[in-house]
Amino acid sequence: METITTHQHADLHRDDTAAKLGMWLFIFTEILLFGGLFIVYSVYRFKNPVAFELAHEELSITMGFINTIILLVSSATVAISITAMQKNDRKITLAMLGITLLLALVFLINKYFEWGGKFEHGMYPGSELMKNLSNGDMLFFSLYFFMTGLHGVHILIGMILLGITLVKVKTGAVNSGKYALLENSGLYWHLVDLIWIFLFPLFYLIH
Amino acid sequence: MEEQTEHKYLPNYLEYRGKYKGLAGWLTTTDHKRIGLLYFYSMMVFFLAGVVMGILMKLELISPGEQIMGAQVYNGLFTLHGLTMIFLFVIPGVAAVYGNFFLPILIGAKDVSFPRLNLMSWYLYIIGAIVVLTSQFMGDGPPDTGWTFYAPYSLKTQTNVVAAVTGAFILGFSSILTGLNFIVTMHRLRAPGMGWLRMPLFAWALYGTGWIQLLATPIVGITFLMVIAERLLGIGFFDPAIGGDPILYQHLFWIYSHPAVYIMILPAMGAITEIIPTFARKTIFGYTAIVISSMAIAFVGYFVWGHHMFTSGMSSTSRWVFSLLTFLVAIPSAIKVFNWTATLYKGSINIKTPFLWAICFIFVFMIGGFSGLVLGSLATDIHVHDTAFVVAHFHYIVFGGTGFAFFAALHYWYPKMFAKVYNPKIANLGLFIFFVGFNLLYFPMFYLGMIGMPRRYYDYLPMFHNANILSTIGSWIMATGLLIVIINLVRARRGTGKEVNDPWDGKTLEWTIASPPIVENFEEIPVVDHGPYEY
Amino acid sequence: MSDEKIHISPYKSHIMVLLGLIVLTVITVLITSVEMGPYNTTAAMIIASIKGAIVLLYFMHLRFDQKIYGIMVAIVVAIFAAVIVVTFFDYLYR
């Protein structure tokens, strides 16, 4: 009896499928979290089509495009790092995770300059300029700051997750026999990418 | 949940000593049973506080004019009463207490899938509760918006809305993580042989609940974040002065808060579904129908939120759409009631306290349900919208439904949780008084609503006086009954009970194990070869 | 303990997927500069949905995983879409 009990006990604490399912369920809540914002966005865009189209011209398509490419590439590098882990190639795993983190940082720096540019022109939450915007513009920029800001927070969370994973791969705590953490951090990172895929056309490509 | 080397004597979860002893042992536990009790005790504190607030409000309403408090205090009080009862008691309610305690046992598991996450959910719950309560003492006074935080008033009032909303956000997180944990547990940890259609119906109810928690809670979470941002950052979403749409706030709020009603009631229905067959000594009638209706309630319940907004200025198209969907959701709820009564038919009914609570549940739940149809149809809703009728309706559903089920489940599982026996006569007496008081308290409010008494005012016209007196007296009777029930249970907890493993001759897995359960629930994981209720 | 068969996507497929996503991004930017009236938004959203589906299927591995994940994702997306539709019963007809 002893051996069986302890064996099952070990199983209880190590269920990669459960961890993955849990991660997917959490991703669903994240999708609905942004989903609420997409509802708000679609309603206000429906009510203020002209204002939204004009307001979006304040945003730089180039910046948005570059950030989209950065996130897409970083998603690919995470996917590659998982493949490398499955092939037990730690070097490539580490390199790819490193590149992903670097790209995430570049994304944030880009964002910093993008937001910084707005701030310099006096356009930031609570500023006089923003308070005096016409109704539709106000809604557009409120949504813009809130949604890209929340997305930025998710980038940070993703970076922390990937950073922890990177350290654990280095120490060997995450290895080719046990890489649920890597897989789940990867899933989370793809989610961050997924959300951006929709944010990009909705804010930068209004026509 | 430390490893065990001794196998001759398996300590039960109450006396087990892990790394820490005493209170620290409880606060660091990952045992789902102990976490269930942590929820239980903290929830009872909040519940009783909420009851006191309710009694104070009823006392204010005993006569027209200012009795014991003025308008602002009353506004703060009904807000806090709502916040406490909704977010701290009924939403976690049955699921967090009995779900935590019994879900793993019912499906033959040793614990939930993520025990540490489970403990974290409880901490989030406590932190959220503290943040909500600090809103009363910090800043510029207690929030006075009602628990709904409707924009634009919640954006304009000088009271401390931000703290209350932040607390509600944290509580939402706790709720999401609990739901996530339960869903994964049911996917991964069912005992060998327990297929999906052999799961006890309480587990099925929790499964539906879990999905609502996952998919609905984030919407209100983000809405609350937007309110916070609007108040703190000076950006705009819902303020009509800057082009925002306050009705959109109502949409978003009810996209969560209507399904939240099903977060409250589904586990309650699940608990009742466990109790009925045990005391009818008969297998449940229509197992599959109940499973499907649970999932249907979870699904359709997601699309009926607009019936809270019939008078808000929504388009007439969406009004009839929501009214139609609302009538649809009544069907699966009714299916459950039919199944319960059909189970009783020709059963060998064993009249015990939990059974009586369950029957009272069905009674009040049906009154609540029927009055819901009055509110769900467009024309009659206009007449009683925002009157005492609505207050009576949702107290019949939420308190009468979830509250009665909470106590039904408590009396049902009490011997298993604590291995103690309560005095059934006093328990029944308490229930009787409680039941009479409950109906005396809320039934006159239907009448008051019909003749036009608005809700959420500390004062009223003299024409509403008589029924209000009845209602206030009812609140005293109900509180007396509640006190008797609770004192009886507390006395039993202290008393020397006998350890009975299966006092009701139940057939689900929790009755096959020791009372109180050992730390890992089962000495050996059971192999299941039949459905849950085979008498 | 994982009772799933492990499917290892080759490096090459990740690169191909990435290239596909980049091409779609370029298309969606180009398409915005073409005058198509209300169809511009529709086109942008369709392309975004295709990109999202690719990320879900390949990067997030849904295509090779147990079906249950895919089913769940489909249900969640369907529910969310239905919520938007039901919300718009208000705004379209107000």
d(CA B172, CA B86): 12
**Chain segment A87-113, per-residue pLDDT in tens:** 999 999 999 999 999 999 999 999 999
First to last CA, chain B: 34
Task: Say whether B315 and C79 touch across the interface (CB within 8 A).
Answer: no
Instruction: Please determine, for residue B226, whether its predicted confidence score (pLDDT) is greater than 80.
Output: yes
CB contact under 8 A, B114 and A8: no
pLDDT digits 0-9 by tens, A34-44: 999 999 999 99
Question: In the predicted model, is pLDDT for residue A7 greater than 90?
Answer: no
Question: Closest to C48 (Cβ–Cβ): which among A186, A197, A206?
Answer: A197
Q: Is the preceding peptide bond at B152 cis, omega within 30 degrees of 0? A: yes
Tokens of C19: 């290239």
pLDDT of A8: 42
pLDDT tens, B157-174? 989 999 999 999 999 999
pLDDT at A133: 85
Question: Running DSSP on this structure, what letter comes out for residue B90?
Answer: I
Contacts of C76 in chain B (CB under 8 A): 215
* pLDDT the model gives residue B521: 93
Q: Of the ranges A180-184, B54-58, B135-139, B470-474, which one carries the lowest mean pLDDT score?
A: B135-139
Pairwise CA distance, residues B424 & B488, whole Å: 9
A2 or C86: which leads in pLDDT:
C86
**B105-116 tens-digit pLDDT:** 999 999 999 999
| Percent of all residues in chain B with a pLDDT value above 90, rounded to a whole number | 86
| Rounded Cα–Cα distance for residues B269 and B333 (Å) | 9
Chain A residues whose beta carbon lies within 8 Å of the beta carbon of residue B4: 5
Q: What is the tens place of the pLDDT at every residue in B406-453?
A: 999 999 999 999 989 899 999 999 999 999 999 999 999 999 999 999
Per-residue b/e over B330-369, b at no fewer than 16 CB within 10 Å?
Answer: bebbebbeebbebbbeebeeeebbbbbbbbbbbebbebbb
| Cα separation, B353 vs B473, whole angstroms | 25
Token pair for B199: 């799961």
pLDDT value of position B260: 94
Nearest by Cα to B183 from A145, C68, C27: C68
Band (pLDDT 50/70/90 cuts) for residue A3 is: very low
Which has more pLDDT, A130 or A34?
A34
- Which band of pLDDT confidence, cut at 50, 70 and 90, is reported for residue B220? very high
| Peptide linkage before C10 cis (omega within 30 of 0) | no
Residue C58: the pLDDT is 95
Query: B240 vs chain A: nearest CA distance in angstroms?
Result: 9
Per-residue confidence at B2, pLDDT binned at 50, 70, 90? very low
- Supply the pLDDT for residue C73: 97
Average pLDDT, integer, range B204-224? 96
Q: How would you class B436 by CB atoms within 10 Å of its CB: exposed for 0-12, middle for 13-18, buried for 19 or more?
A: middle
Total Cβ atoms within 10 A of residue A31: 19
Percent of chain B with pLDDT over 70: 98
Q: Is B234 on the interface with A (CB under 8 A)?
A: yes
* C-beta separation of B148 from B308 below 8 A: no
Specify burial of residue B288 (Cβ count, 10 A radius: 0-12, 13-18, 19+).
exposed
- Answer whether residue A10 shows pLDDT above 60: no
Please answer whether residues B395 and B471 qualify as being in contact, where contact means their C-beta atoms are separated by less than 8 angstroms: no
Phi, psi of B291 (to 5 degrees): -60, -50
User: How do residues C24-77 score in pLDDT, each as one tens digit?
Assistant: 999 999 988 888 888 888 999 999 999 999 999 999 999 999 999 999 999 999
pLDDT band at A1 (very low <50, low <70, confident <90, very high): very low
Residue B182 has pLDDT above 80, yes or no: yes
Tokens at B12, concatenated: 């039960």
Residue with tokens 């309480």: B202
Judged against a pLDDT cut of 90, whether residue C3 lies above it is answered with no
Which chains have at least 3 CB atom pairs separated by less than 8 Å from chain C? A, B
Model confidence at A6: pLDDT above 60: no
- Going by pLDDT thresholds of 50, 70 and 90, the confidence category of residue C4 is low
Tell me which of C86, C91, C93 to substitute to probe the interface with B (most B C-beta atoms closer than 10 Å). C86
pLDDT digits (tens, 9 = 90+) for A54-67: 999 989 999 999 99
**Residue A201 and residue C58: Cβ atoms within 8 Å?**
no
CA distance B411 to B404: 11
Amino acid present at A169: V
| Nearest one of B48, B80, B74 to B60, comparing CA atoms | B74
DSSP type of residue A178: B
**CA A57 – CA B437 distance, rounded (Å):** 64
Q: In angstroms, what separates the C-alpha of A204 from chain B's closest C-alpha?
A: 20
Instruction: List, in order of start, the domains of chain A with CATH numbers.
Output: 28-204 (1.20.120.80)
* pLDDT of A130 strictly over 90: no
**Long-range pairs for B40-46 at CB < 8 Å and ≥24 separation?**
B40/B97, B40/B101, B42/B122, B42/B125, B42/B126, B42/B129, B43/B88, B43/B89, B43/B92, B43/B93, B43/B96, B43/B97, B44/B486, B46/B84, B46/B88, B46/B89, B46/B129
**Domains detected in chain B:** 29-512 (1.20.210.10)
State the CB neighbour count (10 A cutoff) for residue B5. Answer: 7
Backbone φ and ψ for B12, nearest 5 degrees, come out as -80, 170
Taking a C-beta distance cutoff of 8 angstroms, is the pair B279, B352 a contact? yes
Within 13 A of B328's CA, how many CA atoms are on the CB side?
Answer: 16
User: B251 and C89: CB-CB below 8 Å?
Assistant: no
B91 residue type, one letter: I
Q: Is the dihedral of CA B457, B43, B354, B264 positive or negative?
A: positive
Three-state DSSP state, A1: coil
pLDDT at position B4: 46
Suggest the residue from C24, C25, C75 to mutate for an interface test with chain A (most A CBs closer than 10 A). C25
The candidate with the shortest Cα–Cα distance to B173, out of B103, B250, B91, B254, is B91
